Chains A and B, each alone.
Chain A
Amino acid sequence: MSIELRQVSKRFGSVSAVEDVSLTVADGELVALLGPSGGGKTTVLRMIAGLEVPTSGDLLVRGERVNDVPVQKRNIGFVFQSYALFKTMSVFDNIAFGLKIRKTPPAEIQTRVDELLKLFGLDGLGRRLPHQLSGGQRQRVAIARALAPRPSVLLLDEPFGAVDAKIRQELREWLVRLHRELHVTTIFVTHDQEEAMEVSNRIVIFSRGRLEQIGTPREVYEQPKNEFVARFIGVLNVLELTILNGAARLHELSFPAHGLPEGQTLRIGFRPYAVQISRNLQEHPYLAVIRHVYFLGVQLRLELETPSGLILRTRIVKDEFLRQGLEQGSSVSFQIREYRVLSTGANSLSPEVATVHSAANFAEGI
């Protein structure tokens, strides 16, 4: 079922939680609402659910305005961060709750709940009470309960927040499988960019109540619209340059001026993978020392320090690192293969400026 937000804002008293957000979620999509805490993503989710009413703007479901439709009538499944299982009811009764409210015949309830227990790997746990379950099981009960009345949308608030890292990984994969099987439109909130990248078809990035960017995981990673998105999704090196003698410079580093006037400042950003290093000091134009090595598994993250004291982060495959005989303290030469102009001028942090200038300014090499 398609969902559309048109210029939706939400204020709590004088505090603005969500400002002018417009977005569309197509039928059957799996969308992540991503952002730092307090970014307004949970409020957006709660407005879609009907747990909050927008202060202004329209909320449309299948093209119909539903601002004033009460939560009970929206036919949504909502999974709370705390799971909010009914402590006084068994697993079976928890899952059956929505069906009972809808006056479903008992035989049908039995079939549906059994089916869900099976699908969620909860066979034989129907008689248990919530406090007798593990964290992962509780969460699955919460999702099963939300799905039992066959909602047209499944909304999950920080679904993997309350379980430990190992189970979190399993649950992510499991959610992707579940979505593939049931194909119900799913929107989930997370503050973990890795989780958003891994699980969703599309990511909606919020910060301070505003929508920063919507796109596929690849789009937001490779073509971030502004510095906030670029920094939030993955690691980013940011440099502030000044145009001097026809080039954008910072200490020994220099980049094309992009036609900007002398004295203008310019912020650029580049991913660690864009920084290429070599043991051969003549191979690349700049020099640096490996200050620190972070072991990440197959890959290593290196912290480089240039003679002028700039710190840059790069990534290298472990095999390559060993093949070149590198270690902490090694001197290397490096180049920055690609970078994005994040912003220009004095108001360099303003995202509006950033979007204008970053669209095409993708330079290859130096």
Chain B
Amino acid sequence: MGYSIAYLSLVVLIPLAGLLIRVSAMSWADFVRVAFSDRALAAYRLTFGASFIAAAINAVLGTLLAWVLTRYRFPGRKILDALVDFPFALPTAVAGLTLANLFSQTGWLGQFLVPLGIHLAYTTGGIVLALTFVSLPFVVRTLQPVLEEFEVELEEAAATLGAGRWCTFRRVVFPALLPALMTGFALAFARAVGEYGSVLFISSNKPYVSEITPQVIMGWLDQFEYANAMAVAVVMLSASFAILITINVLERWASRFQR
């Protein structure tokens, strides 16, 4: 207990406190001017918006993937299962580079998609794509154990009571998965908000348009405006914190049926 608190303080709390102390040296007016500048606001919107969309996409596709991996036995299942962890292992800069290449006008997929009007490289869509890629394992890996343990009898019971497959999923399976799904969503979202490397490559990084918050922070750092960088960082921090707490509360509500 003592060790884990000491460890937690060392790794998480002390840096955070340092951040806050540094920021508290700024005047309130300065803080607001920097932290809520138009450029920063546009970056927040993009960061949280794109992360939310990415986490939402993963909530749907990740559930599907986890379902297929746990319920079906097919050749190559083990390989597919291992591939889910790929985004964990790959340096995100490499991921961004690859995706940018793939979807740019001359890329493998881009050469077909761009003529159709689908621009994924260097756009907001590209950012969502990169964030979806890096955060996918979180949803799959949180849902998998829950699905493994899910009793098939529950679905059979619903069927004997007259429920079709969709109805069974909606009324029986989904509510039972919801807490894990929300955890997965929260983790994916948190991961996406913190993502930097891959976005750097796939986004055009234009201020106000396709610049995410970490880039704004980097921008300030490049100009040796440490305080300004920290002001933006504090907003990020508070927002992430608030969102995680909200999700935690919702999760608790969704898992009220558990002991």
> A-side interface residues toward B, CB under 8 Å?
49-51, 71-74, 76-78, 80, 82, 84, 86-89, 97-98, 101-102, 129-131, 145-146, 149
Interface 1/0 per residue, B146-174 and A, CB below 8 Å: 00000101101111111110010001100
Residues of A close to B171: CB separation below 8 A: 86, 97
Residues of B close to A73: CB separation below 8 A: 162
Residues of A close to B258: CB separation below 8 A: 87, 131
Query: In whole angstroms, how far apart are the Cα atoms of A364 and B35 in the complex?
Result: 103
Say yes or no: is B176 at the interface (Cβ < 8 Å to chain A).
Answer: yes
A142: min CB distance to chain B, Å? 8
Say yes or no: is B259 at the interface (Cβ < 8 Å to chain A).
Answer: yes
B107: min CB distance to chain A, Å? 45
Interchain CB contact under 8 A, B151 and A82: yes
Known interface pairs A88-B175, A131-B259; A97-B153 also in contact (CB < 8 Å): no
Number of A-B contacts (CB under 8 A): 67
Q: Could you say which of B151, B164, B176, B257 contacts A72, with CB atoms under 8 Å apart?
A: B164
Known interface pairs A88-B175, A88-B176; A98-B161 also in contact (CB < 8 Å): yes
Counting chain A CB atoms within 10 Å of each CB, the highest count among B157, B164, B256 belongs to: B157
B184: min CB distance to chain A, Å? 18
Known interface pairs A129-B257, A131-B258; A84-B161 also in contact (CB < 8 Å): no
Chain A residue at minimum C-beta to C-beta distance from B259: A131
Q: Could you say which of A51, A86, A87, A102 contacts B156, with CB atoms under 8 Å apart?
A: A51
Interchain CB contact under 8 A, B153 and A101: no
Q: Could you say which of B156, B158, B164, B257 contacts A97, with CB atoms under 8 Å apart?
A: B158
Residues 89-130 (chain B) with a chain A CB within 8 angstroms: none
Residues of A close to B172: CB separation below 8 A: 86, 88
Counting chain B CB atoms within 10 Å of each CB, the highest count among A50, A82, A88 belongs to: A88
Residues of B close to A97: CB separation below 8 A: 158, 161, 163, 171
Interchain CB contact under 8 A, B156 and A78: yes
Residues of B close to A102: CB separation below 8 A: 162
B161: min CB distance to chain A, Å? 4
A13: min CB distance to chain B, Å? 13
Q: Could you say which of A80, A89, A98, A130 contacts B153, with CB atoms under 8 Å apart?
A: A80
Q: Could you say which of B151, B154, B162, B259 contacts A98, with CB atoms under 8 Å apart?
A: B162
Interchain CB contact under 8 A, B162 and A77: no
6 smallest beta-carbon distances between A and B, as pairs:
A98-B161, A84-B153, A88-B175, A78-B160, A84-B157, A101-B162
Known interface pairs A101-B161, A149-B161; A80-B257 also in contact (CB < 8 Å): no
Chain A residue at minimum C-beta to C-beta distance from B175: A88
Interchain CB contact under 8 A, B161 and A145: yes
Query: In whole angstroms, how far apart are the Cα atoms of A73 and B162 in the complex?
Result: 7
Chain B residue at minimum C-beta to C-beta distance from A70: B159
Query: In whole angstroms, how far apart are the Cα atoms of A149 and B159 in the complex?
Result: 13
Residues of A close to B159: CB separation below 8 A: 51, 71-72
Residues 206-227 (chain B) with a chain A CB within 8 angstroms: none
New A-B pairs, 14, CB < 8 Å, besides A73-B162, A78-B156, A84-B151 = A50-B160, A71-B156, A72-B163, A77-B160, A78-B157, A78-B160, A82-B153, A84-B154, A84-B156, A87-B257, A131-B258, A145-B157, A145-B161, A146-B161
Query: In whole angstroms, how far apart are the Cα atoms of A77 and B162 in the complex?
Result: 10
Interchain CB contact under 8 A, B160 and A76: yes
Query: In whole angstroms, how far apart are the Cα atoms of A86 and B164 in the complex?
Result: 16
Counting chain A CB atoms within 10 Å of each CB, the highest count among B153, B158, B160 belongs to: B160
Interchain CB contact under 8 A, A87 and B160: no
Interchain CB contact under 8 A, B160 and A86: no
Query: In whole angstroms, how far apart are the Cα atoms of A221 and B168 in the complex?
Result: 44
A139: min CB distance to chain B, Å? 13
Q: Could you say which of B156, B162, B164, B256 contacts A80, with CB atoms under 8 Å apart?
A: B156
Interchain CB contact under 8 A, B151 and A101: no
B187: min CB distance to chain A, Å? 22
Query: In whole angstroms, how far apart are the Cα atoms of A87 and B258 in the complex?
Result: 8
Query: In whole angstroms, how far apart are the Cα atoms of A73 and B172 in the complex?
Result: 19
B125: min CB distance to chain A, Å? 36
Residues of A close to B153: CB separation below 8 A: 80, 82, 84
